[in-house]
């Protein structure tokens, strides 16, 4: 049981990343908190990770706003049309 609670820094940061998306299990989150008690580095990683998530969230909002304007240029479509007509005979 106690052995299962013990995790490496690699595992800890991995759980930490997963929990940024709300997808870490309850047991994993317990293991993570126990790891933080003895590891200041991973605790700092976790704090920075929350900040990064905030950043990425902003980025996601800005990116989605531009979604509707994603398209090929008129010229690109015309080139495609010509190529396509060659095939469609």
Partner 1 sequence: MSNPSPIIHTLNPTKWIDNYSDYLFRYTFIRVNNHEVSKDLVQETFFSGLKSAKNFEGKATERTWLISILKRKIIDHYRKINSKKGQAEVRMNFYNDGENEGDWIEERVPQSWGNEVEKKIENKELQHQIDLCVDKLPQKYAMVFRMKTIQEIDTQVICKELDISSSNLWVIIHRARMQLRKCLEDNWFNN
- By CB under 8 A, residue 77 contacts partner 1: yes
- By CB under 8 A, residue 54 contacts partner 1: yes
- Contact present, 38 and 11 (Cβ < 8 Å): no
Q: Which of 2, 3, 10, 26 binds partner 1 (CB under 8 A)?
A: 10
Q: Which of 2, 4, 59, 65 binds partner 1 (CB under 8 A)?
A: 59
Q: What's the CA gap between 11 and 16, in Å, rounded?
A: 8
Size of the site for partner 1 (CB under 8 A): 39
Within residues 18-37, the interface with partner 1 by CB under 8 A covers 18, 20-21, 23
In the complex, what is the shortest distance from the CB of residue 3 to partner 1, in angstroms, rounded to a whole number?
14
Q: What's the CA gap between 43 and 32, in Å, rounded?
A: 9
- What is the b/e burial string over 7-18, where b = at least 16 CB atoms within 10 angstroms of the residue's CB? beeeebbebbbe
């Amino acid at each position: 049981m106690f052995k299962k609670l013990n995790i490496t820094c690699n595992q800890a940061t991995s759980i930490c990343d997963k929990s940024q998306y709300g997808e870490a299990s309850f047991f994993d989150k317990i293991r993570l908190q126990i790891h933080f008690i003895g590891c200041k580095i991973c605790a700092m990683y976790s704090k920075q990770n929350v900040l990064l998530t905030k950043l990425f969230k902003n980025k996601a909002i800005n990116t989605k706003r531009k979604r509707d304007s994603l398209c090929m240029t008129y010229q690109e479509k015309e080139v495609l049309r010509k190529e396509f007509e060659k095939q469609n005979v």
